[in-house]
Structure 1
């Protein structure tokens, strides 16, 4: 699975259009080989943004000299082009889908961190109640030296445990704060690159051929 523009792509279930399969067969490539190849490009290749020409509009993935275009729902391969090496090197440098995937992973990690913080905070609260109970018993009850020793040992154990748990709480809190800062910075980068990409898309809108088409040729 891969996440691009907040859409989960189930690469294992990606289908290739019948027209592309027929073209591939005329060139001696089996359906299985073609399907395996394009799924690999979609799973591991670089997301290159929106592809548009007179026939199709979709999402483009580039690897190993191939430009594989998925339909807009990202379920079916609708075009496959051979990308010249020079053009492949000049493709979009910032893979927006990768940034979005990174943000998604950070949000999941932040959620887990917050859950740990909540659990540890509850543990600290429980320890505080136990410590307060011992203080109350020591204040209101008479006790001999042996009983006093037992009070002191129990209190020492709880105080030490609280110190360790509090340290863990501070560790998760610090990690969460750092992750939130990174998430904010990545989100800012994503927004800036998305704005630039939107301008690029607006610039080429209405062209007879997309920028990709000018530097690519159909392979199947």
Structure 2
């Protein structure tokens, strides 16, 4: 029996990759500042420090005016809140939570971004536990995204499922500790197909039926 499903957020539950570039470009209107910002983003792309990867940090490396930085951040958040959407099948999948299975959100985002991306859909309260980069103190991959749930709920790591769009970042460590992985966008294109995919693999002892009616 699956005891827990660990979900990535960006590009797994919401369409961040599809909308974020245009949102950033809209928020940073000045062309010269935009080009400088892109260079900063490229420089910190592989930083393991979560704060280095925030929009606020990268803006501060380009713009000295603190008030203007805050104005741009507000524009970015307001626009992102308007255009962000759930990925296919997500709303249907989470409509009726499966009893006895813990739902864990393991995301590199901070709380304020989760509020923008998930709270607007009433999704935040769908999870039994949320682990963020702010909690862990390092970007993925890191076992710190999984360990709090393992310990809090006494989970058998062999009975955990990891769902994300990037196997290396979202799933590999979970698989190495005994769990199973489903890569969104590769194994399935629609979250509503998740349990059908699991059944085909025969990873667990029981079959899952569509649970949303």
Q: TM-score, normalised by structure 2?
A: 0.21
Name the structure where strand makes up a greater proportion of residues. Answer: 1
- The structure that is helix-richer by fraction is 1
Larger radius of gyration, structure 1 or 2? 1
Q: TM-score, normalised by structure 1?
A: 0.21
